[in-house]
Structures are given as structure tokens and as C-alpha cells.
């Protein structure tokens, strides 16, 4: 069979979610993945509870390697812990997590083809054609969930602008589970400004930790050495394999749809610039793309006019929040001594932030809450002469 209602390129969280929802709604759905499934993905693997709440099924016990209820945050000599009495994030290995999401898409009726790369996409008046090494595949709609290097995106626009690209280096360090529990507990650690305008992380898993740092372009030369230095400072072994990868942080200057095509997840740049969180928005946008596809079939209209709904829906669901986050991140990293350290000194600011990760408060509502209070917190800190870091 080479004709489908929908073809989805890429079996990450965006593509597998889109495939599951398209198939569940009765569309004949093909999910194409260039790697062998389950495939590895360089990622810290922190799934916030907000992301988990986007799923319409629960994750099996064996996928969750650790449940984090708190975060340890460091900035210079400042060290703070924020903890809730409930989970904030689940720690997973992406190969297992994405593999499970693929199984759920298959269970819903999607056809999955791995080791089949999309080499080209052509838009014809009555369909869209995907070219792979094996054959030509046709569909009414294509959902491009093919990540940072998205070929789907390049069929109708250029890649990301320079100021939308982050580069990360990361390593996984094997360690006995007991040692991980003793040293890190069930806490993610974030070290702000270890590199300018970004952070270094340590996320505890079952029998390894994920660690890394990210920066905005073009400041990435020497980053692997910087990570080794960080590991040494943390008394962790630093003779480890380091991998590098890009992360898109959209400034929302580009459309994420055209005739018969929608982009989801990283292909659309749906990543939070402050935390680097992308899985939540990959899942949300995958779902929104599938629902838009169902709507297009109901109307028999696959034009850009009909698919515009998808972009509007993403903006309403999370895009406006991500845009706020972009602006707040700029302010925070332009004035870290004033804003970041004031925020860290205030338990309420930290707790409310943790609640956004737990999916109890939207980022937009948090920023509105923060905007009203921050001048007072800064003034209070100034009056109390709490300036030393």
C-alpha cells in the first residue's frame, strides 16, 4: 500500500503522538522513521508532569527510572532547593520512552515503517508525495515531526534563524543506583550561568546520570572541555563520551504550516528557551496536528487556509507561553544578579515555578504573577542589603 490519508515523518514524541491520534480517529496513517526503532536520542530525558498530563495513557513503571519531586538550583555561591510533595518530573531513557509511544501509535492502528528515510517531498495539486529509497508514498496531509534538521520544513521555508538555535553537549555516566540515590536523591540539579546565559544539568536516572550544558550560537567552541571541567568540579568522572546536538528555540517569526503540511515538535521550534523543555510541546503539537488533520478531512479541505487553524491552536495552547518565556529568559540572562538571584532567594517564586513544571500553573499565568511581585521582591532585597551572592 502506498496511499494513506496522513503520512507522518519522524517517530519522536511529536510524530508518535500525531500518529496515535490520527489512527485513533480513523485516518489511515503511516509513520516513517529513518532509524531502527527503538532509536536513541541525545536528550536529558526529563519528562515534566505537565508533559505527562498531555498523554492520554499512563506510562508503565519500567519506563520511569526515577520520579523527581524537587530541583536543586545553583547560581554562583547561591544554592537553593525547591520541592513539592508530589512529582515534578519523571526521568526516562528516550529510547525506551519513544519506543513505548511508538507502540501506542501502532496499537491505535498506525502503520509504522522504520529504517525508511524521507528523501524528498513534492506537493501536487491533489496529494503530497513522499520519496523514500524504496518507493513513492502518497497522502492528503503530511505532518513533519522530523526534528531540528527537518526536511519537511525545508520544502517550504529556510531553517531556523541563528538566534533560534542552541547547541548542547551531553554525557551519560554509569553509576550504581545506590550511589545515585545517595548523591543526588530524587532531585534534578541545575547550575545556572556555568556557561553564559544558560545552565549545566545533572539528571539522575536508574543506573546512570545525564549531564550536559547548552549555549546559544555561536559560542560553542570549547564546550566539550567546559563540560569536562564541570564534571571534575562536581567530582564526577570526566573521561566520558560527549555528544553534541542542536536545539531549536523558535522566536515565532515563521509559519508552521502550508498547503497539506504541518510541522510539529522540534521541526516547528516548539522548545522553551529557559528550560530547554521540548517533549511537552512535541506531544501537544502532535496532538493538535492530528486534530487539525481530522478537521481537514471532515471539510475535505487540505489547503493552507484550513491548516492555519493548527498554528492558531498551538499559539493558544502553548505558543504564547513560550513567547513570554523567550522574553523572560532574555531579561533573566541579561540581569542574572538582579533577577535570577532575587527569584532564587524567594521560596514562593521557586515553588510557583515548580508548579508550572508539574502542570498545575501555566507559564503565562506564572509570568503574570511574577511581573506583579518582582519589583517588590527586588526592593525588599535591596532594603535588606542582601546583595552578596
Ligand X SMILES: Cc1cc2nc3c(=O)[nH]c(=O)nc-3n(C[C@H](O)[C@H](O)[C@H](O)COP(=O)(O)OP(=O)(O)OC[C@H]3O[C@@H](n4cnc5c(N)ncnc54)[C@H](O)[C@@H]3O)c2cc1C
Binding site for ligand X (CB under 6 A): 9-15, 32-35, 39, 41-46, 117-118, 145-147, 151, 168, 170, 212, 245, 247, 265-267, 271, 276-280, 282
CA-closest candidate to residue 318, choices 9, 29, 43, 53: 53
Tell the smallest beta-carbon distance from residue 301 to ligand X (Å): 26
Tell the smallest beta-carbon distance from residue 211 to ligand X (Å): 10
In the chain the beta strands, taken as DSSP E runs, fall at 3-9, 29-32, 46-48, 66-68, 70-75, 78-83, 89-91, 111-113, 120-123, 128-131, 136-144, 165-174, 187-192, 199-204, 208-216, 243-248, 257-258, 261-263
Tell the smallest beta-carbon distance from residue 280 to ligand X (Å): 6
d(CA 26, CA 108): 9
Nearer to ligand X, 43 or 374 (CB): 43
Tell the smallest beta-carbon distance from residue 143 to ligand X (Å): 11
Nearer to ligand X, 12 or 70 (CB): 12
d(CA 83, CA 353): 11
Tell the smallest beta-carbon distance from residue 167 to ligand X (Å): 9
Nearer to ligand X, 25 or 211 (CB): 211
The residue sitting closest to ligand X, measured at its beta carbon, is 278
d(CA 99, CA 330): 35
**What is the helix, strand, coil percentage profile of the chain, to 5?**
40, 25, 35
Tell the smallest beta-carbon distance from residue 185 to ligand X (Å): 18
Tell the smallest beta-carbon distance from residue 286 to ligand X (Å): 7
Nearer to ligand X, 361 or 378 (CB): 361
Nearer to ligand X, 130 or 332 (CB): 130
Residue-wise over 55-88: b if at least 16 C-beta within 10 A, else e? beeebeeebbbbebbbbbbbbbeeebebbbeebb
- Assigned C-alpha cell, 20: 496515535
Nearer to ligand X, 280 or 287 (CB): 280
> Do residues 293 and 143 touch, judged by C-beta distance below 8 A?
yes
d(CA 12, CA 33): 9
Nearer to ligand X, 19 or 294 (CB): 19
CA-closest candidate to residue 279, choices 9, 54, 40, 32: 54
Amino acid at each position: 500500500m502506498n496511499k494513506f490519508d496522513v503520512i507522518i515523518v519522524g517517530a519522536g514524541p511529536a510524530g508518535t503522538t500525531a500518529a496515535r491520534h490520527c489512527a485513533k480517529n480513523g485516518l489511515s496513517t503511516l509513520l516513517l522513521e529513518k532509524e531502527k526503532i527503538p532509536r536513541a536520542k541525545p536528550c536529558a530525558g526529563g519528562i515534566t508532569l505537565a508533559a505527562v498530563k498531555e498523554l492520554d495513557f499512563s506510562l508503565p513503571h519500567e519506563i520511569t527510572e526515577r520520579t523527581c519531586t524537587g530541583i536543586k538550583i545553583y547560581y554562583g555561591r547561591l544554592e537553593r532547593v525547591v520541592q513539592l510533595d508530589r512529582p515534578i518530573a519523571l526521568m526516562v531513557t528516550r529510547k525506551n520512552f519513544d519506543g513505548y509511544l511508538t507502540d501506542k501509535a501502532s496499537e491505535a492502528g498506525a502503520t509504522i515503517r522504520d529504517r525508511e528515510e524521507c528523501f524528498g517531498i513534492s506537493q501536487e495539486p491533489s496529494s503530497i508525495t513522499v520519496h523514500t529509497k524504496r518507493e513513492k508514498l502518497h497522502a492528503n496531509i503530511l505532518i513533519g515531526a522530523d526534528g531540528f534538521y527537518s526536511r519537511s520544513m525545508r520544502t517550504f521555508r529556510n531553517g531556523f534563524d541563528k538566534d533560534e538555535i542552541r547547541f548542547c553537549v551531553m554525557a551519560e555516566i554509569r553509576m550504581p543506583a545506590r550511589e545515585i540515590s545517595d548523591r543526588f536523591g530524587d532531585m534534578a540539579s541545575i547550575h545556572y550561568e556555568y556557561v553564559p546565559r544558560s545552565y549545566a544539568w545533572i539528571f539522575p536516572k536508574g543506573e546512570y546520570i545525564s549531564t550536559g550544558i547548552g549555549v546559544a550560537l555561536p559560542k560553542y567552541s570549547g564546550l566539550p572541555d567546559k563540560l569536562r571541567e564541570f564534571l571534575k568540579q562536581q567530582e564526577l568522572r570526566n573521561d566520558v563520551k560527549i555528544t553534541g546536538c542542536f536545539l531549536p528555540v523558535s522566536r515565532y517569526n515563521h509559519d508552521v504550516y502550508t498547503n497539506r503540511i504541518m510541522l510539529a515538535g522540534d521541526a516547528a521550534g516548539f522548545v522553551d528557551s529557559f528550560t530547554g523543555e521540548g517533549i511537552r510541546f512535541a506531544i501537544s503539537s502532535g496532538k493538535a496536528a492530528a486534530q487539525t488533520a481530522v478537521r481537514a478531512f471532515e471539510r475535505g479541505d487540505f489547503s493552507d487556509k484550513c491548516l492555519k487553524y493548527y498554528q492558531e491552536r498551538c499559539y493558544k495552547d502553548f505558543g504564547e507561553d513560550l513567547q513570554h518565556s523567550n522574553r523572560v529568559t532574555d531579561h533573566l540572562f541579561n540581569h542574572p544578579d538582579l533577577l535570577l538571584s532575587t527569584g532564587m532567594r524567594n521560596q514562593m517564586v521557586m515553588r510557583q515555578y515548580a508548579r508550572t513544571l508539574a502542570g498545575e500553573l501555566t507559564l503565562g499565568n506564572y509570568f503574570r504573577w511574577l511581573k506583579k511581585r518582582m519589583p517588590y521582591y527586588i526592593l525588599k532585597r535591596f532594603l535588606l542589603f542582601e546583595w552578596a551572592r
